Amino acid sequence: MRLVSAVLVFTLVVALGVGATAPTATAADSSDSLAQRTAGDCSFPVTRTDATGTAVTLSERPERIATLSPSAAQTLWEIGARDRVVGVSEFAGYLDGAASLPVVNTASGGIQSERLVALDPDLVIAPGTISNETVATLRDQGLTVYAMDSPATIEGVADATTRLGRLTGECAGAAETNAWMRANVAAVREAVDDDPRPTALYVFSDGWTVGADTFISDVMTAAGTRNAVAGVVSGYARVSPEVVRERDPAWIVYNSRDGIPDAAAYRGTKAVQENRTVEVNVNYLNQPAPRSIVRTVRTIATAIHPAAVDESSYVPRSAVESANATATATATPTPTDRATTGGGPGFGVGTALVGVLFALLVARGRRR
């Protein structure tokens, strides 16, 4: 039953083309209608208002793109724009081929302005961690900079993916990537829905954690846990030993770089004493991007709910590609078809649903 439900959710996600939740208009999108964004208009010139309130215009598809955060780079890799990336941040080196690109932003030295300008990018993507003042300085140097917000939810990551797809001319790749991400999140949520939700604490950098208003907390919720410090911590903050002892999380989630602090408060938790800990690759856990969401949700859920989540619930990119191809071929009838059947929205979506479901079942059959 869980497998069938996950398939049906994924079918709707791909066939409707906008994910399980339709895009929501935001202040930075106010110039666009919902119809424009869901219709897949990916032409240029395009103007978008960024996180600084600045209207950024691209007259042509950007052929040289610099990313100042690993999450933006990961997103461009996923949506199909990686071959146009000419500069990356220090921690994007794990992406295939990124290690050979110039590094334009480091943890120790910050943005390498001269190197960035020398790359002559058509578009620079700046994360929410970079100040408005720094963005303004880069613009003063003649660079076209689009500043992003920091996503606080999984759907915020989907919205950022849609934005980057539109700015780079990879709208179809962004839609496909979001369909893949949402399908896998939906499959895990469905699988763990009937299981108890233990408390979990994410700890990093020697005692820091996340509140309920972060994408990491949303990921933990999707994976079938309850944030142990929800209501106590806001955003990203250092958690005191007293709070760790008081909350006594059933599970501790940590990243592959930092580990769990070697402190009495953590050693005394049920999680550590009963070996209920989950390690997640630091490249994914801390980066709000599609691949990060899929891998982190599945890693946490598989560890905490092993009887509910296994390989059979994973939706591969190949299934999304196959389903999209089927939906595209069946959802838009020829003029003759319209004359014969009457056409209309119901025909397109209904036929697409059948095609997508068939493609998904075939894809799943190949894995067994």
Distance CA 14, CA 222 (A): 20
Asked if 210 and 103 sit in the same domain, the reply is no
Is residue 333 included in any domain, yes or no?
no
Q: Which domain holds residue 60?
A: 46-150
Distances (CA, A) of 230 to 156, 202, 213, 322: 19, 11, 9, 40
Is residue 275 included in any domain, yes or no?
yes
Quickly state the pLDDT bin for 332 (edges 50, 70, 90).
low
Q: What is the pTM of this model?
A: 0.82
Task: Count up the domains in the chain and report the number.
Answer: 2
What average pLDDT does this structure show over 3-17?
43
pLDDT at 34 over 50: no
Point out which residues pair with 159 in neighbouring strands: none
Asked if 101 and 205 sit in the same domain, the reply is no
Residue with tokens 């790359």: 119
Give the pLDDT confidence score for residue 331 in this predicted structure: 58
Asked if 145 and 197 sit in the same domain, the reply is no
Least confidently predicted of 12-21, 94-103, 135-144, 154-163 = 12-21
Quickly state the pLDDT bin for 40 (edges 50, 70, 90).
low
What average pLDDT does this structure show over 65-75?
98
What average pLDDT does this structure show over 46-58?
98
Residue with tokens 């962004």: 174
Give the pLDDT confidence score for residue 25 in this predicted structure: 36
pLDDT at 346 over 60: no
Mean pLDDT of the chain: 84
Q: Which run of H or E residues covers position 87? A: strand 85-89
Task: Tally Cβ neighbours within 10 Å of residue 312.
Answer: 13
Quickly state the pLDDT bin for 327 (edges 50, 70, 90).
confident
Give the pLDDT confidence score for residue 325 in this predicted structure: 76
Distance CA 317, CA 321 (A): 6
Which of 319, 347, 363 marks a domain boundary?
A: 319
Which of 301, 319, 337 marks a domain boundary?
A: 319
Asked if 277 and 219 sit in the same domain, the reply is yes
Asked if 191 and 134 sit in the same domain, the reply is no
Give the pLDDT confidence score for residue 368 in this predicted structure: 35
What average pLDDT does this structure show over 70-86?
98
Residue with tokens 């950098």: 205
Using CA atoms of 248, 193, 321, 218 in order, give the dihedral in degrees to the nearest 10.
Answer: -40
Is residue 13 included in any domain, yes or no?
no
pLDDT at 353 over 70: no
Tell me: the pLDDT tens digits for 255-301? 999 999 999 999 999 999 999 999 999 999 999 999 999 999 999 99
Least confidently predicted of 190-199, 324-333, 352-361 = 352-361
Give the pLDDT confidence score for residue 90 in this predicted structure: 96
Q: By C-alpha distance, which of 164, 133, 136 is closest to 148?
A: 164
Is residue 161 included in any domain, yes or no?
no
Asked if 131 and 182 sit in the same domain, the reply is no
Residue 335 is encoded by which pair of tokens? 């003029």
Distances (CA, A) of 62 to 124, 125, 144: 10, 11, 10
User: CATH number of the domain that 204 lies in?
Assistant: 3.40.50.1980
Asked if 107 and 208 sit in the same domain, the reply is no
pLDDT at 210 over 60: yes
Give the pLDDT confidence score for residue 59 in this predicted structure: 98
In the chain, count H helices and then E strands.
16, 14
Distances (CA, A) of 271 to 213, 249, 254, 263, 342: 23, 6, 12, 14, 61
- SS3 state of residue 199: strand
- SS3 state of residue 233: strand
* CB distance 237 to 208 below 8 Å: yes
pLDDT at 17 over 60: no
DSSP string, 106-117: ETTTEE-HHHHH
Distance CA 270, CA 245 (A): 10
Give the pLDDT confidence score for residue 38 in this predicted structure: 43
Q: Which run of H or E residues covers position 339? A: helix 335-341
